[in-house]
Structure formats: C-alpha cells, structure tokens
Amino acid sequence: MRSVFPVAALFAALIVSPVSAAVITPTALGIHVGEGSPGFTQGVGDVSTFTFNGVTYTNLGPADGVQIKTQPNDGNGAVPFNTNPAGEYMSVLAIGTLQMTFAATNTFGFYWGSIDPSNQIQFYSGSTLLDTLTGSNVALLASLAATGNQGDYNANRYVQFADATGTFDKVVLTSGQNSFEFTNVNGVPEASTWAMMILGFLGLGFFGYRKSSKSSGSAFRMV
C-alpha cells in the first residue's frame, strides 16, 4: 500500500505538468522575396564587430570563424541561391559563433542560403534563452528542405521568425558544418508595416485624385 501513493502522485504530476512548446515559429516567405542583398558596412573578410541597419554583428570567435563573402563560391561558403551576384553574404563556419543583437522585436528574418541540418539559431531575451532551432527544425516547420542544396529554392529562402508571446533581442548562430550562409537581414517589412505602407500609398493616390479633380473642375468653369 505504501508504494501506491508515490506512483499515484507521479502520475498526477505528469498529467498536470505543462507541455513545453516552441516559442519561435519560422515561416518561409515566397520565392524571390528578399533576394536583394545589400552590402554590409564591414568589408569582405573575417568579421569582428560592426553595426548595419540596426543590427550589431559580433564574432564570438575564433577570428576566422565568421566571414563576409562574395562570389565565387569556395569550400567554406556558397552565395544564397539567386541573390544579387554582386552582393555580400555572411558565412558562419563550423568553428565559428556569430551573435546578432537589435532592438526588442517579435519578428526577425533573413535570406537563408543552402540550409544545412546542423545550422543552429538560438533566440534570447536579454540573457534568457527562449528557443533553439536547427536547419532540420525549420525545414520541418516551414515546409523547406535542409539538404544544403545551393541551387534549390526549397533550401534557399527568406525565413521570418516570429514570437507570438513576447519579444527577443538577440540571436546566436552556429553550425555543425561549413557553413551557415545568409544575407538581407530583416530586409522584408513585417505584415503590419506592409499594411501601413499600402494605406499610405492609397492616401497619396486619393489626395492626388482630389487635386486632379479640383483642377479639372476649375478649368471647366473657366471655359
């Protein structure tokens, strides 16, 4: 009889224990989205620390573990498929670790090249680790393929990461093999931004139409 209570308590604890769920949700945007790849403020070569478009990039070591590259491809990195040939891209090697920090947000993205299963992204809010995704996770959740294919949109796409419960302000990238390639960081406006832009264009069009109508009416009355 004494053994029944611990077993029953354990069973009850398992029932009431919350099931851990993924915090960050990846979404693959459409083909051709985010293929523009503006140059970084730091030139081609080993990355140290620099800031570009509101994102601070910090190489956590070793010095040659994170590099900015351009075509042609080499054994340590391949340009993300069909991005601007003259553009630059980041390559996090198997020996490297790259940290990106930015203002707290619930969405963040980049054009991810030749997704490998061992590519890894960790999401933080301050010093708190919120979630970890690998190339395999993202491929499964975003209907992509972590094959490392350098010429296939299934393995090369703009991926947007969203947190529906809060915000994050840091991501850390590593890879178990050469390499984790990406470009055009956060270069695609989120849905709310698109909506505001569309409303703005509609407003400009409306005022332009009213101005044109008034001008036409005045000309008609003068005649």
Distance CA 109, CA 28 (A): 10
Indicate whether 17 belongs to any domain: no
- 151 near 16, Cβ under 8 Å? no
Q: Domain of 209?
A: 189-218
166 and 115 in a common domain? yes
Same domain membership, residue 145 and residue 53: yes
Examine the domain organization and report whether 194 and 179 are in the same domain. no
* CA geometry: angle 78, 82, 84, nearest 5 deg: 90
Q: Taking the model in full, what pTM does it have?
A: 0.76
DSSP 5: H
Would you say residue 4 lies in a domain?
no
Q: Tell me if 155 sits within 8 A of 80, measured CB to CB.
A: no
Per-residue pLDDT of the chain (223 residues; tens, 9 = 90+): 444 445 444 444 444 444 446 799 999 999 999 998 778 889 899 999 999 999 999 999 999 999 999 988 888 899 999 998 778 999 999 999 999 999 999 999 999 999 999 999 999 999 999 999 999 999 999 999 999 999 999 999 999 999 999 999 999 999 999 999 999 998 765 444 444 444 544 554 544 545 555 445 544 333 3
User: What's the Cα-to-Cα distance from 143 to each of 45, 139, 156, 173, 181, rounded to whole Å?
Assistant: 33, 6, 12, 21, 19
The number of beta carbons lying within 10 Å of the beta carbon of residue 142 is: 19
In a domain, 208, yes or no: yes
Q: Residue 114's domain is classified under what CATH number? A: 2.60.120
Query: To the nearest 10°, the Cα dihedral for 135, 136, 139, 144?
Result: 80
Domain shared by 54 and 158, yes or no: yes
Closest by CA position to 89, among listed 178, 161, 185: 185
> Phi and psi for 89 in degrees, rounded to 5?
-140, 155
Q: Does the residue 5 lie in any domain?
A: no
Does residue 197 contact residue 189 with C-beta atoms inside 8 Å? yes
Q: What is the token pair recorded at 72? A: 């042609």
Please count the CA atoms within 13 angstroms of the CA of 138 that sit on its side-chain side: 33
Residues 26 and 120: their CA atoms lie apart, in Å, by 13
Q: Are 180 and 197 in the same domain? A: no
